[in-house]
Amino acid sequence: MAQGENKDMQLSKDLFQYVRDYLYEESGLYYANYKKYLLEGRLLKRLSHLNMTSFNEYISYIRSSQSEDSELINIFKDIAKSESYFFQNTSQLKALTEWVIPELEEKKSEKHLRIGSFSADQGEEAYSLAIALHDFFGGHRKQWKIQIVGFFQESERLAMAEKGEYESYAIRNASRKHILRYFDKVGAGFQLNNEIRSLVSFQHCAGPEDLGYYGRFDVIFCRNRLMSLGYSLKQTLIRQLENALRLNGILFLGQMETLHNLEHDLELCHFPNTLAYVNKIQGES
Partner 1 sequence: MIPETQHKLIEDKVGAIGSLPTLPDVVLKITELVNDPNSSMRQIESVIAVDPVLSSTVLKVVNSSFYGMAQEISALRLALVILGITEIKNLVLSLSVFRLFSRGTVTADFNIKEFWHHSATAGQIARSLSNKLNLQFAGEEFVGGLIHDIGKIVLFKVLRNEYTEVLHRVKAEKIQLHEAELETFGFHHGHVGGWLGKKWHLPKKLIAAIVYHNNPTDTEEHHQLVGVVSLASALTHAAGVNTDTSMQALFIREHPALQMLLENTIGLDSIDWERFTLELGTDVQKSVEFVSLSQESLWKNSKQP
Where does this chain bind partner 1 (CB under 8 A)? 24, 30, 32-35, 91, 99, 103, 256, 258-260, 267-273, 275-276, 278
Number of H helices, E strands in the chain: 12, 10
CA–CA distance, 97 with 86 (Å, rounded to integer): 17
CB of 38 to partner 1, least distance (A): 12
Residue among 120, 210, 103, 180 at smallest CA distance from 156: 120
Q: Give strand ranges (E) for the chain.
A: 112-117, 145-152, 165-166, 183-186, 189-192, 200-204, 217-222, 245-253, 266-271, 274-279
CB of 243 to partner 1, least distance (A): 21
CB of 244 to partner 1, least distance (A): 20
Q: Residue 46: enclosing H or E segment and its boundaries?
A: helix 36-49
CB of 103 to partner 1, least distance (A): 7
Residue among 66, 35, 6, 50 at smallest CA distance from 58: 50
CB of 269 to partner 1, least distance (A): 5
Residue among 152, 143, 188 at smallest CA distance from 169: 188
Closer to partner 1 by CB, 17 or 53: give it: 17
Amino acid making up residue 142: K
Closer to partner 1 by CB, 80 or 275: give it: 275
Closer to partner 1 by CB, 35 or 163: give it: 35
Closer to partner 1 by CB, 27 or 122: give it: 27
What's the full length of the chain, in residues? Answer: 285
Closer to partner 1 by CB, 165 or 257: give it: 257
Closer to partner 1 by CB, 30 or 137: give it: 30
CB of 9 to partner 1, least distance (A): 23
β-bridge mates for residue 271, sequence order:
274
Taken in order 279, 91, 116, 212, is the CA torsion positive or negative?
positive
Closer to partner 1 by CB, 200 or 259: give it: 259
CB of 196 to partner 1, least distance (A): 28
CA–CA distance, 37 with 42 (Å, rounded to integer): 9
The residues, any chain, with a CB within 8 Å of residue 42's CB and separated by 6 or more, are: 75, 78, 79
